[in-house]
A and B are shown apart, each in its own frame.
Chain A
Amino acid sequence: DQQVKQNSPSLSVQEGRISILNCDYTNSMFDYFLWYKKYPAEGPTFLISISSIKDKNEDGRFTVFLNKSAKHLSLHIVPSQPGDSAVYFCAASVAQGGSEKLVFGKGTKLTVNP
């Protein structure tokens, strides 16, 4: 049973436009959510995170939105750049009193076209 789902395997956008990557989760115990970016033959790189007590976190061109009632989060990249082309993984964790192990989605491959 997949607890973190990324239903879009791929997304293609034009340079300068907004990229929106979506993620759904099923486990109500998750209290911390993260986005990682991965290039081929490299490990995942931490991008941005959000605690379950917040509904928005922004860092430069990257914003993560969390809708707890819908168990849904999204990553917005504005403006998108060709260097953003990578696989993006949504991950969730139980931060309090546990291992903080990450549960990942399957990833969304983002292609930003010049």
Chain B
Amino acid sequence: DTGVSQDPRHKITKRGQNVTFRCDPISEHNRLYWYRQTLGQGPEFLTYFQNEAQLEKSRLLSDRFSAERPKGSFSTLEIQRTEQGDSAMYLCASSLGVTAAVSYNEQFFGPGTRLTVL
């Protein structure tokens, strides 16, 4: 399977605990995105990486959230001191980004990590 993978698929934690999610993008994709989806809403942008550089962060990403993409391959999203409002589906997507030959490359999503904070 050469698609985007995410681990774990489900995470239940108690308020105040730290959690970490992992995303493995499609191997040749240099752009990696994190989104969050809550019930009844579409996915909302959190942050993105071009290779290993984190180039943009949404104001939704409070200082309790941190994302990394060491070596420009997989990425991790950590939430510290989780709150009940953090309960959501966390989605990772990857793309080739804009190239000289192609003006746009679609983003491909992983299956998501569903976080429940009790």
Which residues of A line the B interface, CB within 8 A? 4, 32, 34, 36, 41-46, 49, 51, 89, 91, 93, 95-96, 99-107
Contacts and interface: CB of A to CB of B under 8 A. Distances in A.
Contact of B107 (A41, A42, A46, A107): A46
A92 to B, nearest CB: 11
B55 A99 contact: yes
B109 A43 contact: yes
Contacts, number: 65
| Band of interface residues on B | 20 to 34
Interface of B: 4, 6, 31, 33, 35, 40-45, 48, 55-56, 91, 93, 95, 97-98, 103-104, 106-112, 114
B70 to A, nearest CB: 20
Given A44-B43, A95-B98, A96-B98, A102 B107 contact: yes
